[in-house]
Amino acid sequence: MSTEKKSVLILGGGLAGLTAAKRLTDKGFQVKVLEKRDIFGGKVSAWRDEEGDWIESGTHCFFGAYSVLYDLMREIRTDHAVGWKDHQLTYTLAGGERFTFNTWDLPSPLHLLPAIVKNGYFTLGEMAAFSKSLIPLALKKDKYPPTQDHLTFAEWAKEKKFGNRLMEKMFRPMALALKFIPPEEISAKIILDVTETFYRIPDASRMGFLKGSPQEYLHQPLIDYSTSKGAIFKNNITVDELLFDGTEINGVQLRNGEILTADYYLCALPIHNLRKVLPDRLKQHDPFFGGLYNLEGVPVISVQIWYDKEITTADNVLFSPDGVIPVYANLARTTPDYATLRGEPFIGKTRFEFCVAPAKKLMGLSREEIIRLVDQSVRNCYPETSKGAKILKSTLVKIPQSVYAPLPYMEQYRPTQKTPLHNLFIAGGFSQQLYYDSMGGAVMSANLAVDGIVNHHSHAH
């Protein structure tokens, strides 16, 4: 038997690609990762601007549910870098109104009791109507959400009649925070899946933030680990096409004219980029690959604003149904390394990072217009503490196609990591796994793709 290492080319150096690289080098494969940008990390990437401040593709919350991500972080010794916050969800409303869903350290479903009986905003009648709508979920558990993929969440809620206020004030920002699309677009399956998990596993909904940048606590440690075991990471390399000989993939065509070959090819690209590199022959004739053309990426905008006053002391994720900032955080509180401005300590003031969504209609606006809308939303939600607050700095990142859009009927098109071609595998948040397009999903998809390659390799020998 040959002792030569089998080679894997990984296309895309986002979290899925970097995870797969680590897992495959651990299994003894010779790995090369090709990334088109000059930085790794994809949608979780972060970089310093010319003034030394970290800019992120987006605010990233770590849910307790992502056990596969924490396994990975333990292996690269960075699990200590997740700072867990109080187990609660706070909603900030126009006019300074607030409500908070607290969670108690009790077994399911008792952990949700305080959220139902003393959230300070919804009446017991509203919460009772909502609890009633969840009876099928309580009875059928995880078997129920997949049966509701034909409805948007708004359609599902209308059927269940649980009331407009819950939809507008709680579920609208939740849908926007989760997948950047409103309840009229998101499949009911997604919200029900998340609700079911939070209901069943008390710690699943606990949230944390990295103590600093994902570049320092995730991507670089992953790259360093794999490099020390022989993996090669190439940035500024764009893959143009997978080459197909009618039976298998026999190379990748790079934009720089080179062709690279390997024993296995693992595509860890976003869905819109995966579609671009697939050879015409595959997409037209194979239903597995043809199905990918139904999946689309969602636009989203990330904004940071540094204010000269402490507008909120909240050291946690915040939601807002009013305005354009469904989910945000004061990084000067949540993320210790980010309590800075232009390299100087930034204490007792506010460094907000916002996820701005839905972004479809905002993508064409200028930077100034978007910052103005965000600032307006802040001042609406904090009429008192924002009085007289001045903006010291703002940054903005537009992502035209971010996570895949989980619209009704899309679940059937999410590909498995194993493809009909024996030497081609797929990873990425959009591929089939429990966590949808998220950090947990990216890691789980990579784990599954690696299992597929390892299985194929061991059967071939």
Beta bridge partners of 232: 32
Residue 356 Cα distances to 38, 86, 123, 396, angstroms: 25, 24, 29, 10
Q: What's the sign of the alpha-carbon dihedral 140, 146, 150, 153? A: positive
Give the C-alpha separation, 10 to 20, whole Å: 8
Q: Interface with ligand FAD includes 173 (CB under 6 A)?
A: no
Contact 59, 327 (CB under 8 A): yes
C-beta closer to ligand FAD: residue 58 or 323: 58
Q: Interface with ligand FAD includes 72 (CB under 6 A)?
A: no
Nearest to 17 by CA among 219, 179, 273, 252: 219
Q: Interface with ligand FAD includes 14 (CB under 6 A)?
A: yes
Q: Tokens 């993320």 — which residue?
A: 335
Contact pick of 6, 22, 25, 35 for ligand FAD (by CB under 6 A): 35
Structure tokens at 299: 């636009």
**Radius of gyration (Cα) for the chain, nearest Å?**
22
Q: Interface with ligand FAD includes 68 (CB under 6 A)?
A: no
Q: Interface with ligand FAD includes 269 (CB under 6 A)?
A: yes
Phi, psi (5° rounding) for residue 264?
-130, 150
Contact 92, 100 (CB under 8 A): no
Residue 290 Cα distances to 133, 273, 400, angstroms: 37, 14, 23
Q: Interface with ligand FAD includes 355 (CB under 6 A)?
A: yes
Q: Interface with ligand FAD includes 441 (CB under 6 A)?
A: yes
Q: Angle at CA 304, nearest 5°, toward 300 and 306?
A: 165
Q: Interface with ligand FAD includes 58 (CB under 6 A)?
A: yes
CB of 403 vs ligand FAD, minimal distance in Å? 5
C-beta closer to ligand FAD: residue 8 or 61: 61
Give the total of residues touching ligand FAD (CB under 6 A): 40
Q: Interface with ligand FAD includes 42 (CB under 6 A)?
A: yes
Give the C-alpha separation, 295 to 198, whole Å: 26
Nearest to 89 by CA among 122, 56, 67, 58: 122
Q: Interface with ligand FAD includes 188 (CB under 6 A)?
A: no
Give the C-alpha separation, 150 to 31, whole Å: 40
Q: Interface with ligand FAD includes 437 (CB under 6 A)?
A: yes
Q: Interface with ligand FAD includes 85 (CB under 6 A)?
A: no
CB of 265 vs ligand FAD, minimal distance in Å? 12
Q: Interface with ligand FAD includes 242 (CB under 6 A)?
A: no
Q: Interface with ligand FAD includes 57 (CB under 6 A)?
A: yes
Q: Tokens 């009876």 — which residue?
A: 135
C-alpha 324, offset from chain centre: 19
Contact pick of 8, 10, 11, 374 for ligand FAD (by CB under 6 A): 11
Q: Interface with ligand FAD includes 402 (CB under 6 A)?
A: yes
Longest dimension (CA), the chain: 74
Contact pick of 10, 15, 82, 222 for ligand FAD (by CB under 6 A): 15
C-beta closer to ligand FAD: residue 115 or 268: 268
Of 138-146, 160-168, 264-272, 385-393, the window that binds ligand FAD (rule: CB under 6 A) is 264-272
Q: Interface with ligand FAD includes 442 (CB under 6 A)?
A: yes
Of 58-66, 89-97, 120-128, 168-176, the window that binds ligand FAD (rule: CB under 6 A) is 58-66
Give the C-alpha separation, 249 to 80, whole Å: 40
Contact pick of 6, 22, 23, 60 for ligand FAD (by CB under 6 A): 60
Query: In a 10 Å sphere around its CB, with 0-12 CB exposed, 13-18 middle and 19+ buried, how is residue 2 labelled?
Result: exposed
Per-residue x/- track, 111-150, ligand FAD (CB under 6 A): ----------------------------------------
Q: Interface with ligand FAD includes 13 (CB under 6 A)?
A: yes
Among residue numbers 304 through 333, which ones bind ligand FAD (CB under 6 A)? none
What length does the chain have? Answer: 461
Give the C-alpha separation, 419 to 415, whole Å: 8
Where on the chain is the footprint of ligand FAD (CB under 6 A)? 11-17, 34-37, 42-44, 57-61, 238-239, 268-270, 273, 277, 300, 302, 355, 399, 402-403, 428-429, 437-442
